[in-house]
Structure 1
Amino acid sequence: MTTRPAHPAARSIRTTPEGLMWEPSERWVRGRKGDVTVVDSRHPVLVWEPHLPVPQYAFPHDEVRTDLLRPAQNPPAGAHTGSRIFYDLHADGDVRANAAWTFPADDLAGHIAFEWFLRTDTGLDHWYEEEEEIFVHPRDPHKRVDALPSSRHVRVEIDGRVVADTHAPVLLFETSLPTRYYLPRENVRLGLFDATDHITRCPYKGTAEYWSWRGEGDVPPNIVWSYPEPLPAVAAIQGRVAFFNEAVDITLDGERLERPDTPFSRMLRKGSRS
């Protein structure tokens, strides 16, 4: 049996001289490539890089199939904070370049981090926290997502045309993002939109489907979405419809809201020009 240092009684984020922030996690985390379990860790560490808003995991060497890793043939420059040691993953009859790396910080010596396949095409296929599959990136323990039913009056317009009006929204509050308004389908004029094949995945909410505006005007594609089978923590939004506040006009209780400027704003502006 391996003896490890006990986790701190009071969780606290630590900072390395390289600007990395990290803290231990008590979640059981597994990562798979095809049918091969590459990571099986009960002692993961969450790491935040200065240029990334979301965390990633690093794992003790003895909880990783290091026999499947080879020194990278073409390590990327500047891909991760100060990292110079990268590995190619040889597993399940495939090679994924630069799938893993080590951080330079002394605090994180003996740990290996992995890309997540749904963020890039180099990482592992599936990740699990306990028995639940997690998509895109690890959940941030310092971030909250609350879905609260409300009786507030929400009206949505596109180019002056009312496309949704309800007194029964669910308000979704997510740390560092604008409030999203999930509206009953019967209160949304979905006939003004076309379903698309676009999907996104969120570690907090699940898998979303999208619609695009079929009318005229400089309206980005995929501005409407819904979670048909959301994760249990936000079950209240199931089947409801939400709009990008960044691209439509929302009036809340008679007050027109300013369109927020978020990373999604830039994505939507790029989409409207394509």
Structure 2
Amino acid sequence: MAVQMRKALANLNDELRYEPVSQRIRVFHGDVLVAETTGAMLVWEPRRIVPSYAVPRDDLRVDVVELDVPADDPATAPPMLPPGRFAPHLSAGTVVSLRAGDTVLEQAGYALSDPDLAGHVLLDWNAFEWVEEAAVMTGHAQDPFKRIKTLPSDRHVQVSFEGRLLADSRRGVLLLETSLPPRWYLPTQDVSMDLLEPSSHHTVCAYKGRASYWSLADPELGERGRDIGWFYPDPLHDALPVKDLLCFWVERTDLTLDGVEVPRPWSPFTGFS
């Protein structure tokens, strides 16, 4: 029987997964070089959809302090761990702190016990600054099995929310991102901007860049209307075709394509938006 690739990959979610990378990785904390290596591993801990870098312990330029921290219990962890949080760790290992100069970075590392990863220390992305070759990286470590693709489209796209027409366009850009629902980016001229107000919320995507958000201006909507859509004012290279175009959560709004209603999908980031 044929196997859908998305389901096959999802079935690995509870496993500890890794992939060697060949590019030079440098890790900084301020002006302190924490690590420099060409032997890093991308590691997906159990229940993680976003990888982190593990570097050889011998390539760390700082002191490693092993801690006696109780192991995390998988039974108390959610089925999918939110991105951006280093703990909990559902693979065998030892929590470590790192001493960078005069600063001790508490629990910023995790020494993995798995035989294939022994001698590597997983590092908390948010505790450091990261450079691949000479490129400064943002958001999180990039997944080599993930990509984005943009396609200009003349399909009739309509977006509504609780009876309000938010957008009506035939000149959108379809953005396809591995394992996520299709996203429709629309020119603001085709969006009911009078129904929206700027939000102070921002997120960073490793593939598209830093996003700014819009909320529905009706205060009675509360959380339901908050951060309903976003745009990229200064996107990374692969996302340049959607620069300044506005995208709404298809998980939270009602999408119609060429007159046909599209069911609201589920996505791994629905609960973390």
Gaps of 5+ in 1: 1-17, 118-122, 269-274
Equivalent position of 1:91 in the other structure = 100
Alpha-carbon separation, structure 2, partners of 1:134 and 1:63:
19
Kindly state the Cα deviation for residue 76 of structure 1 after the two structures are TM-superposed.
5.5
Q: In the alignment, what sits opposite 2:111?
A: 102
Question: Secondary structure of 1:263's partner?
Answer: coil
Q: Deviations over 1:122-170 (max 9, x none)?
A: x22x112222222232111111211111111111112112111111111
* Other-structure match for 1:12: none
Percent identity reads: 39
Amino acid at match of 1:176: S
User: What SS is found at the alignment partner of 2:53?
Assistant: strand
C-alpha contact (below 8 Å) 1:33/1:92 kept by paired residues: no
- The answer on whether the counterparts of 2:16 and 2:46 sit within 8 Å (CA) in structure 1 is yes
State yes or no: 1:75 paired with 2:69: yes
**SS at the partner of 2:211?**
strand
- Runs of 4+ with >6 A deviation: none
The 5-angstrom pairing of residues 1-274 of structure 1 reads: 19-65=15-61, 67-72=62-67, 75=69, 77-78=71-72, 79-117=88-126, 123-124=127-128, 126-215=129-218, 216-217=220-221, 219-267=224-272
TM-score, normalised on structure 2? 0.83
Q: Which moved more, 1:170-179 or 1:131-140?
A: 131-140
8 Å contact from structure 1 (residues 155, 252) kept in 2: yes
Q: State the secondary structure of the residue aligned to 2:204.
A: strand
TM-score, scaled to structure 1: 0.83
How far apart in 2 are the matches of 1:206 and 1:133? 12
What is the RMSD computed on CA atoms of the aligned residues? 2.0
Give the total of aligned pairs: 244
- The residue type paired with residue 112 of structure 2 is F
Moved more, 217-226 or 42-51: 217-226
Structure 2, gaps ≥5 residues long = 1-13, 73-87
Higher relative contact order (CA 8 A, sep 6+): 2
- The residue aligned with 2:76 is none
Match in the other structure for 2:81? none
How far apart, in 2, do the equivalents of 1:174 and 1:44 lie? 25
Residue pair 1:31, 1:128 contacting (<8 A) in 2 also: yes
